[in-house]
Amino acid sequence: MASKAAHKRLTKEYMGMQREPPPFVWAVPDEKNILIWNFIIRGPPDSPFEGGEYHGVLLFPSEYPFKPPGIKMMTPSGRFQPDRKICFSMSDFHPGSWNPAWSVATILTGLLSFMLSDEITTGSLSSSTAQKRSLAARSHLWNVNQRRFIDAFPDYCGEIMHDLPNMGEKERGKVDPPPEQLAAPLTTEVSTSVGPAEQPRNSTVATASPKSDESGKLPRALSWTDVLWNKWRWGVLILFAVIVSRITSPN
């Protein structure tokens, strides 16, 4: 059972994960036990794991964040032994090097970095690049046939593998489109059952909402006199200046 401190900390970290997920990883706590988290790691581009989807589990102690979690990878990857605890600096194999400031996001980012290395330790495997790529290609199919993955990630169990919330676009130098490209153009929807001389009966026009001024009041509609004055005021001013100059000029 989670301590009060562990429950509070893990709840905060789940909110942080939703607000700002790290690149290529995603994690959710178990609905019945907040000390158990399921995670997904997606293989980054230009790596032997590209296109792969790797399911794993974080097993937090009740003393978290003062003690590190156990970490397992469930999906065959060619890098870690399935369903066996992994030894690396942020796991329960190394409580002496654990930093309570580390979070779920930190742990999973570190695990991804460790996954991309060639270091051999408890729970790891040695395999060829071809073997890793072959397992990556079959990883999603393997996951969607596992009950634990289905229960933890129902939104990721379709035939097509969906992207995680953060697939590292910004980290790879891709930028968001300019705001003007994100804005939807104004459109008009007209009913097709309108006769030649009829006005549309069920037309919908997307218009911009009027903005209020600083006093909170909506601006009044321009009258025809306002329109005429805005259009001709410069001509009137020029004509007035010409008349004044002729009157005041010496003969």
Domain-wise residue ranges, the chain: 1-170
- Longest CA–CA separation in the chain, Å: 107
pLDDT at 9: 97
Beta bridge partners of 2: none
Of residues 188 and 78, more confidence is placed in 78
pLDDT at 1: 86
Residue 242 has pLDDT above 70, yes or no: no
pLDDT at 176: 47
Residue 179 has pLDDT above 70, yes or no: no
Q: How far is CA 223 from each of CA 101, 112, 207, 219, 229, rounded to the nearest angstrom?
A: 64, 65, 20, 12, 10
pLDDT at 200: 42
pLDDT at 235: 56
pLDDT at 168: 87
Q: pLDDT, tens digit, for every residue of 11-48?
A: 999 999 999 999 999 999 999 999 999 999 999 999 99
Residue 199 has pLDDT above 50, yes or no: no
Q: What are the residues whose beta carbons fall under 8 Å from the beta carbon of 55, sequence distance 6 or more?
A: 38, 39, 40, 73, 74, 75, 143, 146, 148, 149, 152, 153
Percent of the chain with pLDDT over 90: 66
Residue 124 has pLDDT above 60, yes or no: yes
For the CA atoms of 157, 160, 165, 167, the dihedral, rounded to the nearest 10 degrees, stands at 130
pLDDT at 212: 46
* Three-class HEC string of 116-147: CCCCCCCCECCCCHHHHHHHHHHHHHHHCCCH
> To 10 degrees, what angle do helices 4-19 and 104-115 make?
70
Q: Which of 220, 189, 182, 224 is nearest to 203 (CA)?
A: 189
Question: 198 falls in which pLDDT band (50, 70, 90)?
Answer: very low
SS3 232: helix
Compute how many other C-beta atoms are within 10 angstroms of the C-beta atom of residue 204: 11
132: its two tokens? 């890793």
Of residues 245 and 85, more confidence is placed in 85
Residue 111 has pLDDT above 90, yes or no: yes
Mean pLDDT, residues 207-232: 48
Cβ–Cβ under 8 Å, residues 129 and 77: no
**Which residue stretches of 29-91 are H helix?**
none
Cβ–Cβ under 8 Å, residues 26 and 164: yes
d(CA 227, CA 244): 26
Residues designated catalytic: 87
d(CA 83, CA 159): 24
- Decide which of 3.40.718.10, 3.30.300.30, 3.10.110.10, 1.10.3720.10 is the CATH code for 1-170: 3.10.110.10
Q: Which of 79, 54, 21, 82 is nearest to 156 (CA)?
A: 54
Q: What are the residues whose beta carbons fall under 8 Å from the beta carbon of 211, sequence distance 6 or more?
A: 219
Q: pLDDT, tens digit, for every residue of 155-168?
A: 999 999 999 999 98
Predicted TM-score of the model (pTM) = 0.69
Residue 219 has pLDDT above 50, yes or no: no
Residue 223 has pLDDT above 70, yes or no: no
d(CA 242, CA 248): 10
Mean pLDDT, residues 68-79: 98
Average per-residue pLDDT for the chain:
80
